[in-house]
Amino acid sequence: MKKYKTAPVASSALSPGTPYIVVNEAAERFSYYGMRAILVVFMTQYLMDSQGQLDALPLYGLLIGDYIRPNH
C-alpha cells in the first residue's frame, strides 16, 4: 500500500467546502453593490457645497493621485 494518495477519492457528493465558497461569493456581491450604492450617495450629497455646486477639490486630488503621480 502506498503511503500518500496521488488522486482524490471518487465521490458523488460536493466537497465539504462548497457552502463556504457559495456564502463567500454572496457576501462579496452584497458588499460590492452596497458600496456602489453608498458611493452614489456620497458623490451626489457630500461633494456639493452649500450652493449646490460641485466641490472640485477632491476631483483634483483624484487626478493628481491616479494620473499625474501614480504609485505603480
Structure confidence at residue 72 (pLDDT): 61
Domains of the chain, by residue range, sit at 18-68
Q: Which residue has the higher pLDDT, 58 or 33?
A: 33
What integer is the mean pLDDT of 49-70? 77
The whole-angstrom distance between residue 50's C-alpha and the CA centroid of its chain comes to 32
3-state helix, strand, coil in the chain (%, to 5): 55, 5, 40
Instruction: State the pTM of this model.
Output: 0.48
Rounded Cα distance, 55 and 63, in Å: 14
Contact 54, 48 (CB under 8 A): yes
Contact 47, 55 (CB under 8 A): yes
Read off the pLDDT of residues 4-57 as tens digits, 9 standing for 90 and up. Answer: 888 888 888 888 899 999 999 999 999 999 998 888 887 777 777 777 777 777
The three grid cell numbers given for residue 28, joined into one nine-digit string = 462579496
